[in-house]
Amino acid sequence: MSNKMWGGRFASGPGAIMEEINVSIDFDKALYRQDIAASKAHADMLAKQGIITADDAKKIAHGLDTILSEITGGKFTFKRALEDIHMNVEGRLSELIGEPSGRLHTARSRNDQVATDFRLWMRDTIDTLDLALAAFQKTLATKALEHAGTVMPGMTHLQTAQPVTFGHHMLAYVEMAARDRGRFADARKRLNESPLGSGALAGTSFDLDRDMTAKALGFDRPGANSLDGVSDRDFALETLAAASIASVHLSRLAEEIVIWTSPLTALVRLSDKFTTGSSIMPQKRNPDAAELVRAKTGRIIGSLSALLIVMKGLPLAYAKDMQEDKEGAMDALSALSLSIAAMDGMIADLEPDAARMKKAAGEGYATATDLADWLVRTLNIPFREAHHITGQIVGKASAGNVALHRLPLADMQAVEPRITDAVFDVLSVDRSVKSRTSYGGTAPKNVKAQAKKWLKKLEKEKA
């Protein structure tokens, strides 16, 4: 028995293995809202152009609304024999309204249908991710304002470098999330062209109003080239690239949480909501949520790599290889959404140990740069010479196993006689962070101003 989809060309249906490798309904059923919306817009346009009757269009719209209600109500049976979301919807529509359902597919192909659905789904997902990232920014900025003056060690090479504030550290991720949102916004703008009406690859001989369907579906315009409309997936690649970068940012913060919560540093504490225990070691508190965020980054980046590899050798126009575009992308963006939510929760939940942070900030002679700057500023010594002098003084402090601000003045003067006791004004970690008043610096007043600015901006976006 031939498959109704193929018409009379085939005498029998596909073999079992062919059916299994060909089926996509298990994952593309996620496109049901977009598929139904695009079909309704297409039917309205066909009626307006006189290609189908207004009565048929009305029956089609009513049937599609019924199908939407069935799916959202959990009463719809998805059939693997019908392969994909398009044929499942069309098959049910035929059961509901009969002959008029066959007119819906006039002047379109599954090629432009799936390209339209996937763009609509990607656009909706980007909008959801943007809201999640904005909420994450607010959580970070709120924590930054709360800890604008909480001193912590700033690191380079994972070694103590200079004192910063915990609020300043949080604001760094606010900035990263802002760029992530910008990348998603750019991807959304470029994907917002409608492929509907491109047909299989060459357009159609029917007198379509593609501007009408584009407007009905919220696209900026119809795509200008039918080959491009059905065969390119750069909109998915670009979105996955933005997702990969965003996930890397989350992963870096997750790694820091893993380090900060270790008893070896004990800089922050997570509550039971975001930690787990051990099946054998009763004392353990594992930062599993952070570790899983870190791990999911691999899945997200892997999905980008997989789709790049799928697309890199395909000639125009559509090829069935492109059925592999959705499952990985859907998984990746779902993983990113969950990762943002988990990281948002952890940042809201974690509590810095201010005393431990301050102590750690002073270890490793973190104010050495402040000493060098003082030599330049006060004694008019060239920075390279000041750097050398400071290195000798740090060597003395290290040999005596004392903090830099505890080193006797006489020991400093043995290296540079012109040093006075005024140098101690810059050697504490509190004074160090307060002195970093340059734009973008870690001074608490800077952090407060930036945190308030971000919170105001984010609140304005919601209005």
Of 208, 37, 184, 22, nearest in space to 118 by CA: 37
CA dist 97 and 59 (Å) reads: 7
**Rounded Cα distance, 195 and 231, in Å:** 10
Calpha distance 174→139 (Å, rounded): 9
Catalytic position from the list 69, 278, 305, 398: 278
| One-letter amino acid for residue 306 of the chain | A
Helix axes 444-462, 110-146, angle to 10 degrees: 140
Phi/psi-derived region of residue 350, left when phi > 0, alpha when psi is between -120 and 50, beta in every other case: beta
Catalytic residue among 157, 205, 279, 438: 157
CB 296 within 8 A of CB 247: yes
3-state SS assignment for residue 219 = coil
Active site residue 278: yes
CB hemisphere CA count around 405 (13 angstroms): 18
CA distance 420 to 372: 14
In 147-287, which residue ranges form alpha helices assigned H by DSSP?
Answer: 166-191, 210-216, 226-231, 234-261
Question: 151 forms bridges with which residues in the sheet?
Answer: 165
Report how far Cα 423 is from the mean position of its chain's Cα atoms.
46
Give 400's DSSP letter. T
- In terms of phi and psi (left: phi > 0; alpha: psi -120 to 50; beta: otherwise), the region of 194 is beta
Catalytic: 337? no
Computed on alpha carbons and rounded to an integer, the radius of gyration of the chain in Å comes to 30
Torsion sign, CA atoms 372, 377, 381, 384:
positive
Active site residues: 157, 278
